[in-house]
Amino acid sequence: MEGSIEALVPALSLIGYGLGAIGPGIGIGIVAGNAITAMARQPEMQGTIRTTMFLGIALTEALALIGFVLFFIASA
Amino acid sequence: MAQLIVATSECDVVNEVICAPANVNELFEFPTIFTIGGFEVTRTIILMFLAAFVAVAILYFGLRGQRLVPTKFGVAVEGLVSFVRDGIARDVIGPEGTKYVPYLMAMFFFLLVGNLFEVTPLINFPITSRMAIPAFLALVTYVIFMFVGFAKNNFRYLIDTAWPKAVPIGLRWLVGLIEVFSIFILRPITLAVRLFANMVAGHLMLTLLLTSGVIFIAAIPEIGLKGSIGVFWFGLGLFMFLLEILIGVLQAYIFTLLTAIYIESSIHFEH
């Protein structure tokens, strides 16, 4: 185990997941922020905007969650 | 409770900060209880039938006997039903959406009950954290929106997706490739993985925080001040508990909403 790359696999996959979560984090921030702006400008469109926001968040979040699953596969 | 015992017996309270079982699978795989005709029945399968039963019971007792003044429970169930019928099916798919209300309704209630099993005392296991259940539901959704797409648009569905006329000719093959890949391959996979991963993450987090909290609080006399970290873990676990209720409801909603959106995009796929 000493000096072998095998020992580093859990740590590396953890770092990889952390890096992979950056992009979706920024993406969800942009989606939610713009949805709030839109709702503030046109409160009467709130229902449609909320539906679209959840859709956007769900699609963006999928990347982070795939990374989460791959983390467990890699580190198991 | 079996999970708590597993973690308790193996946790080295002096050195570890979070008490995790030796293998993550211990949290999700249960031993076979009995076998029927070659099928091994585990706790997950019993809980799955219980979820379906509870979903049917909620609808039956909520909507039975229309009174002039409905009961409080009846009003709540009616609210949920009209939320799925008007808020999801008719808003997203349009007038044709009424046809898909039974499927969406069944899926929403099953997933809602299944996800909330995570925070139900004495059950504490989200059945959707086993890949088979989200994968099968995503497969049914995939079959439905493929069938609708080919039934409404014949083979133009496949051809126009792979060769979109609205895109300049130079980029057409690239856009077509991406579209085909995302619609025919990525959609069902992400639909299933999203629900599965959310529930796995929630269940893991709740189990680790709450077991760590209980174990460290119990070990305060032995490890002194360090044991007070258990109070923090337990408090964080209780906060996550509230968050998991929100996530469970939200994921059931998103799964149903995406199903409706996929069906809609198969019906009017030109734009």
Contact B16, B25 (CB under 8 A): no
pLDDT band (50, 70, 90) for residue B1: very low
The pLDDT of residue B255 is 93
Q: How far is A66 from chain B (nearest CA, A)?
A: 7
Average pLDDT on B78-84 reads 91
Q: How far is B222 from chain A (nearest CA, A)?
A: 31
Q: Which chain B residue has the Cα nearest residue A67? A: B197
Tell me the DSSP string of B137-171: HHHHHHHHHHHHHHHHHTTHHHHHHHS-TTS-HHH
The pLDDT of residue B138 is 95
Q: Is B92's Cβ below 8 Å from some Cβ in A? A: yes
The pLDDT of residue B21 is 67
Per residue in B17-64, pLDDT (tens digit) is 767 666 777 778 788 888 887 788 888 889 999 999 999 999 998 888
Q: Which residue has the higher pLDDT, B5 or A13?
A: A13
State yes or no: pLDDT of B67 exceeds 90.
Answer: no
The pLDDT of residue B71 is 82
Distance, CA of B244 to CA of B123 (rounded, Å) = 15
Q: Is A15's Cβ below 8 Å from some Cβ in B? A: no
Q: Which of A12-26, A52-66, B103-117 has the highest mean pLDDT?
A: B103-117
Q: Is B196's Cβ below 8 Å from some Cβ in A? A: yes
State yes or no: pLDDT of A33 exceeds 90.
Answer: yes
Largest CA distance in chain A: 63
**Burial status of residue A29 (CB atoms within 10 A of its CB: 0-12, 13-18, 19 or more):** exposed
The pLDDT of residue B94 is 85
State yes or no: pLDDT of A41 exceeds 90.
Answer: yes
pTM of the model: 0.85
Output the six-digit token pair for A1: 């185990």
CB A69 to CB B193 under 8 A? Answer: yes
Interface test with A, best of B193, B204, B249, B264 (most A CBs within 10 A): B193
Q: What angle do CA B17, B20, B22 make, to 5 degrees?
A: 130
Distance, CA of B143 to CA of A49 (rounded, Å) = 29
pLDDT band (50, 70, 90) for residue B271: low
**Burial status of residue B12 (CB atoms within 10 A of its CB: 0-12, 13-18, 19 or more):** exposed
Distance, CA of B65 to CA of B71 (rounded, Å) = 10
Distance, CA of B251 to CA of B190 (rounded, Å) = 13
Nearest to A68 among B197, B258, B261 (CB): B197
Contact A52, A35 (CB under 8 A): yes
CB A55 to CB B258 under 8 A? Answer: yes
Residues on chain A touching B257 (C-beta within 8 angstroms): 51, 54-55, 58
Per residue in B242-265, pLDDT (tens digit) is 989 998 998 999 999 999 989 988
Average pLDDT on A31-57 reads 89
Distance, CA of A62 to CA of B157 (rounded, Å) = 26
Distance, CA of B191 to CA of B138 (rounded, Å) = 6
Q: Is A61's Cβ below 8 Å from some Cβ in B? A: yes
